[in-house]
């Protein structure tokens, strides 16, 4: 019906590379290899169809194409046929070419869609309301906190060890979740729509940690292949077997390194209950082997690992002066840190609990990466300006690497310190040193 007249004819998708179509003959096309006059040409056929559609339109001939890039909003040319029509109109009619071309707004709620006597229109009441709001002056949101919260209830003075570890591992997240009752959604990863041939990093870590726990208890990792396959995260067939062999080799090497420095036999959990000033500290301390509190991660150590063993070590030394060991990875090497018995454990815990209480009324300027980097550089003998520069590098995102996410982009920190001037100030330096400097002073590399 391409030659039958119609009042209105619309042609959509007339992008530069879409129409006319290109001749892409397969390699076995003998006609394309030896072309003759009169052979069928797809581009010529499309041009003929366009002309027939133009001649068939009686009142409106509507052409549409994507005129701006979705990536950087740069203008995109239309099909050469559209350009030829616009060029003909410009040469033969006095009406400005702008009267024939309508540039649609990007959003459906654009105020251009709701102007009186406009060429664009919309029937959406919701988009109309949004368009009215979009035209108003915008103001930046005020800081999330302008005054401290009220004093916490007395029950907050009964502090579990695990709760204190959670607080100092990410004080801002603890404040937002437990004091304000706001649990922000996590970033969701896209679900793979094809069969995996590699092990996800989180699955790898989880499996290695479980195999390491069993290995230190005398259970060889080689016997766990069936149970690991049952988890459904290993690639099938021989690929999964090779990956599992690699995991076993890593676990065996790591377990041997731990056995050389600590007793293998696990002891019963230590129950802590102590009154420290106005606080009561209690909880359960596991992973004690021989006389040593032991923690390990078969991956790169993070701030939360040092915070956990440090607080548990202090709590244990309230009643028994015993050492602690932390093992992890630094590059391809196994790193070990020893914490000797603490004579001033009560004093250090008193300071931590005081900081904890203040952090329940106002977000604490203590950040896992930036604060740790700052104190680490200071303890390594770097100048103050150099330590600040390194900390701010962790705080800000890398503009040259889209995958590098600065700590200020953490959803909880971003909310609690919204539109706050210079978060990494003198108060931040003071709190960072108060909390993390004792850890660096006490730990010894093995």
Q: Can you list the domains of the chain with their CATH numbers?
A: 6-103 (3.30.160.800), 154-186+263-445 (no CATH)
In contact, 179 and 360? CB cutoff 8 Å: yes
Cβ atoms of 374 and 390 closer than 8 Å:
yes
CA-based nearest residue to 409, from 175, 201, 187: 187
Distance CA 359, CA 365 (A): 9
DSSP 262: S
**Spacing of C-alpha 287 from chain mean position:** 31
CB atoms within 10 A of CB 216: 21
**pLDDT the model gives residue 398:** 63
Cβ neighbours of residue 400 under 8 Å, at least 6 residues apart?
Answer: none
CA 279 from centre of chain: 36
- Provide the angle, in degrees to the nearest 10, between the axes of the packed helices 368-379 and 303-316: 80
**8 A C-beta contact, residue 95 and residue 43:** no
Pair 230, 187: CB distance under 8 Å: no
CB atoms closer than 10 angstroms to residue 112 = 15
Q: Alpha-carbon distance 159 to 288, whole Å?
A: 22
**Distance of alpha carbon 353 from alpha carbon 261, whole angstroms:** 32
Spatial distance between the Cα atoms of 379 and 115, rounded to a whole number of angstroms: 64
Strand partners of residue 338: 325, 444
- Give me the phi and psi of 63, to 5 degrees please: -120, 135
Report d(CA 374, CA 396) in Å as an integer: 14
pLDDT at residue 112 in the model: 84
- Whether residue 171 contacts residue 412, with contact meaning beta carbons closer than 8 Å, is answered with no
Q: Enumerate residues 6+ apart whose C-beta is below 8 A from 83.
A: 77
Residue spans of the chain under pLDDT 70: 1-2, 187-196, 264, 397-404
What is the spatial distance between Cα 61 and Cα 58, in angstroms, rounded to a whole number? Answer: 8
Q: How far apart are CA 234 and CA 241, in angstroms?
A: 8
How far is the CA of 408 from the CAs of 105, 358, 378, 392, in angstroms?
33, 22, 21, 10
Q: Count CB-CB contacts under 10 A for residue 14.
A: 20
Asked if 157 and 433 count as a contact pair (C-beta separation under 8 A), the reply is: no
Amino acid 400: pLDDT: 53
- The secondary structure of 290-303 as a DSSP string is TTEEEEEEEEE--H
In 359-410, which residue ranges form alpha helices assigned H by DSSP? Answer: 368-379, 384-395
Q: Residue 170: what pLDDT?
A: 95
């Amino acid at each position: 019906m391409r030659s039958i007249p119609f009042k209105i004819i619309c042609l959509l998708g007339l992008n530069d590379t879409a129409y006319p179509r290109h001749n892409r003959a397969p390699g076995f096309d003998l006609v394309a290899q030896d072309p003759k006059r009169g052979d069928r040409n797809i581009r010529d056929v499309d041009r003929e169809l366009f002309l027939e559609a133009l001649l068939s339109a009686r009142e409106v001939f509507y052409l549409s194409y994507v005129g701006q890039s979705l990536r950087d909003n740069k203008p995109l040319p239309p099909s050469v046929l559209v350009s030829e029509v616009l060029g003909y109109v410009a040469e033969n009619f006095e009406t400005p070419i702008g009267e024939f071309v309508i540039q649609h707004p990007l959003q459906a709620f654009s105020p251009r869609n709701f102007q009186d006597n406009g060429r664009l229109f919309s029937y959406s009441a919701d988009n109309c309301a949004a368009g009215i709001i979009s035209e108003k002056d915008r103001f930046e949101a005020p800081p999330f906190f302008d005054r401290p919260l009220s004093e916490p209830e007395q029950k907050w003075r009964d502090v579990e060890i695990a709760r204190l570890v959670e607080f100092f591992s990410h004080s801002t997240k603890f404040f937002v979740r437990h004091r304000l009752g706001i649990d922000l959604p996590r970033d969701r990863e896209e679900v793979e729509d094809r069969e995996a041939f590699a092990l996800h990093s989180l699955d790898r870590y989880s499996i290695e940690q479980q195999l390491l726990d069993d290995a230190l208890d005398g259970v060889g990792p080689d016997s766990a292949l069936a149970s690991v396959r049952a988890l459904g995260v290993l690639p099938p067939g021989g690929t999964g077997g090779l990956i599992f062999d690699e995991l076993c080799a890593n676990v065996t090497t790591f377990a041997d390194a731990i056995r050389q420095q600590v007793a293998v036999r696990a002891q019963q959990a230590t129950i802590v209950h102590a009154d420290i000033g106005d606080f009561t500290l209690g909880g359960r301390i596991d992973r004690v082997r021989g006389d040593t509190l032991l923690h390990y991660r078969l991956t790169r150590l993070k701030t939360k690992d040092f915070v956990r063993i440090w607080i548990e070590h202090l709590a244990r030394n309230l009643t028994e002066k015993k050492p602690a060991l932390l093992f992890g990875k630094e590059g391809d090497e196994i790193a070990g840190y020893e914490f000797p018995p603490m004579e001033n454990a009560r004093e250090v815990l008193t300071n931590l609990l005081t900081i904890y209480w203040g952090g329940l009324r106002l977000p604490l300027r203590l950040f896992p990466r930036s604060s740790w980097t700052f104190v680490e550089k200071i303890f390594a003998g770097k100048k103050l300006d150099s330590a600040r520069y390194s900390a701010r590098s962790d705080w800000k995102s890398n503009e040259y690497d889209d995958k590098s996410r600065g700590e200020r982009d953490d959803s909880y920190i971003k909310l609690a310190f919204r539109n706050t001037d210079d978060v990494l100030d003198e108060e931040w330096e003071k709190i960072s040193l108060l909390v993390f400097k004792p850890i660096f002073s006490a730990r010894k590399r093995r």
